[in-house]
Homo-oligomer: A and B are copies of this chain.
Amino acid sequence: MRLSQFHLRTTKETPADAELISHRLMLRAGMIRKLASGLYTWSPLGLRVLRKVEAIVREEMNRAGAQEMLMPTIQPRELWEETGRWEKFGPQLLKVTDRKDQAFCYAPTAEEVVTDFARNELSSYRQLPVNFYQINTKFRDEIRPRFGVMRAREFLMKDAYSFHLSQADLAREYRNMHAAYTRIFSRLGLEFRAVLADSGAIGGDASQEFHVLAGSGEDALAFSTASDYAANVETATAAEPAPRPAPAEALRRIDTPTQKTCEAVAELLGIALQRTVKSIAITAADGTFVLALVRGDHQVNEIKLAKVPGLAGYRMASEAEILAQLGSEPGFLGPINARQPIRVVADRDVAALADFVVGANQAGFHLAGVNWGRDLPEPEVIADIRNVVEGDRAVDGGQIRLARGIEVGHIFQLGRTYTQALGATVLDENGKAAVMLMGCYGIGVSRIVAAAIEQNHDANGIIWPDAMAPWQVAVCMINPKHDPAVSAAAQALLEELQAAGLDAVLDDRGLRPGAMFADIELIGIPHRIVVSERGLIAGTYEYRARRADAAENLGKAALLERLRAG
């Protein structure tokens, strides 16, 4: 490939409306162009990267035994109603009406259609297990599309769906997909972690997310220093706290005229924030008033709280409800209640406290030296309802560390959620109809491109991992018009590199070295070779890895050796 024959259009300007570095760099490199909110055209340069990612995903899915197929992007309402998702999916589902007034949606995912395909195509356990996948355009009508292709409305996704007769076989395929995903992200050259995830609205039992690690990532992740344990903070859990100490203080009421936060109360009393307790007033779906208690230095985790029996679908209590139940305004709430017994859900770390501080349910007052069993009943429910924090003891004995990640893959054991709703059965070994078990496995193909940039860039632009680069190697010519030997040598080198199996490009645009190098760095080519008159005389080429501080002059054999090493 010669750059003079390739449409490349870089810009120096930093686009005003692009917040994320990947978005800015993709625009500056000319990889994408915005068509409308959340809709991007991929230029030839951008598509080269996208197709390299797609090819690796396809190869590894095939290697794992999954079978590629292709489903329509436009899908009929009737099918989505069979699972209830026509309504449940919400306004992200782009609905379409055709000329005959039939309703369809632009698929954001394809569980319904693939399960319909499976119920028609699969009739016997002998056809199982099977894993169908596609790499196809999806659409999610985001309320606020942003960050370029990181959260576009139209995007490229690999979605796979497996069908099984037994839970054990589903678990086996789930591990198989875990291994395939690990190979995919490893081959792409990305730093990533598989983390336990909340399976959320999609339902089902077990799920893991694959995250590309990057400081700008939307998701907070927790790792253990002692093992492979990793989880989204939505679900990450710390080790059980140490046993509760014996009470040492007497219960006392203290004046806290303006102290409405744990921080303010701890400062006033000169005690550690860890000895204060936050009381969060909520109302369960059945109307029950509940106080959720977490330590002053912790944050309540709403996803965990909603998993406490009886609290699915809870909401924050209104001020009127709080006043009616506790007789106090917010800022001074606590679990010791003179009026009536209050349901209490205590975080494990709160249940392990002695001599702690809570609100007195009276404006301007808190209670200190509070102890379970003595000053108030033992908590009715003890559960993990907080976010882990950096330094927590992990369940495996290590320490919890936090990092940020960008979700690029997700694997689920769905179980029978969709197959039951759609009646997808096969005859089992005994000739009895059995509802199949199902797994689903997604990869955000276009999102990977942006995530890779978030993880790999510097002040000069993108730094592609070799496997994703539009070209692995750029051959740059200095002053070829002045010395035709330079042009001939560069062309010969290009052919030699290509013959060695390297995806190389020749920059024959005739730019000055500064502008040429700036482009090659901006678009992130991992390896740059400069062919110059001086080098030809010395019998060397100037080689520079994109991440290296300096260039080195190498003979051809050493150069090829270096490139082969990657």
Interfacial residues, chain A to chain B (CB-CB below 8 A): 5-7, 9, 30, 33, 35-37, 39-44, 46-47, 50-51, 65, 67-76, 79, 91-92, 94, 96, 98-99, 102, 104, 106, 113, 116-117, 120-121, 127, 130, 132, 136-137, 139, 141, 143, 153-154
B94 engages A68 (CB within 8 Å) = no
A65/B121 contact (C-beta < 8 A), A74-B139, A139-B74, A153-B74 known: no
> How many subunits of this chain does the assembly comprise?
2
Q: Tell me the nearest residue of chain B to A93, going by C-beta.
A: B99
Query: Which B residues lie within 8 Å of A68 (CB)?
Result: 44, 47, 51
Besides A7-B121, A96-B106, 4 new A-B residue pairs in contact (Cβ under 8 A), listed by A number: A36-B102, A43-B117, A44-B67, A96-B96
A7/B127 contact (C-beta < 8 A), A71-B35, A76-B36, A137-B137 known: yes
Query: Which B residues lie within 8 Å of A99 (CB)?
Result: 91-92, 94, 141, 143
Query: Which B residues lie within 8 Å of A7 (CB)?
Result: 67, 121, 127, 130, 132
Q: Tell me the nearest residue of chain B to A51, going by C-beta.
A: B68
B72 engages A154 (CB within 8 Å) = yes
Chain B nearest Cβ from A168, distance in angstroms: 20
Query: Which B residues lie within 8 Å of A44 (CB)?
Result: 67-69, 132
B67 engages A41 (CB within 8 Å) = no
Instruction: Name A's interface SS.
Output: mixed
**Which of A74, A92, A102, A154 has the most chain B CB atoms inside 10 A of its CB?**
A74
Chain B nearest Cβ from A70, distance in angstroms: 4
B43 engages A73 (CB within 8 Å) = no
Chain B nearest Cβ from A470, distance in angstroms: 12
A43/B121 contact (C-beta < 8 A), A94-B96, A96-B94 known: yes
Query: Which B residues lie within 8 Å of A51 (CB)?
Result: 68
Query: Which B residues lie within 8 Å of A71 (CB)?
Result: 35, 41-42
A6/B98 contact (C-beta < 8 A), A72-B41, A154-B73 known: no
B72 engages A35 (CB within 8 Å) = yes
Give the distance in Å from the alpha carbon of A9 to the alpha carbon of B117 in the complex: 12
A47 partner, pick from B6, B9, B30, B70, beta carbons under 8 A: B70
A42 engages B70 (CB within 8 Å) = yes
A120 partner, pick from B33, B92, B132, beta carbons under 8 A: B33
A67 engages B132 (CB within 8 Å) = no
Query: Which B residues lie within 8 Å of A65 (CB)?
Result: 5
B9 engages A121 (CB within 8 Å) = yes
Q: Tell me the nearest residue of chain B to A139, going by C-beta.
A: B74
A67 partner, pick from B6, B73, B113, beta carbons under 8 A: B6
Query: Which B residues lie within 8 Å of A43 (CB)?
Result: 69, 117, 121
Query: Which B residues lie within 8 Å of A106 (CB)?
Result: 74, 96, 106
Give the distance in Å from the alpha carbon of A72 to the alpha carbon of B152 in the complex: 11
Chain B nearest Cβ from A9, distance in angstroms: 5
Query: Which B residues lie within 8 Å of A41 (CB)?
Result: 69-72, 113, 117
A35 engages B76 (CB within 8 Å) = yes
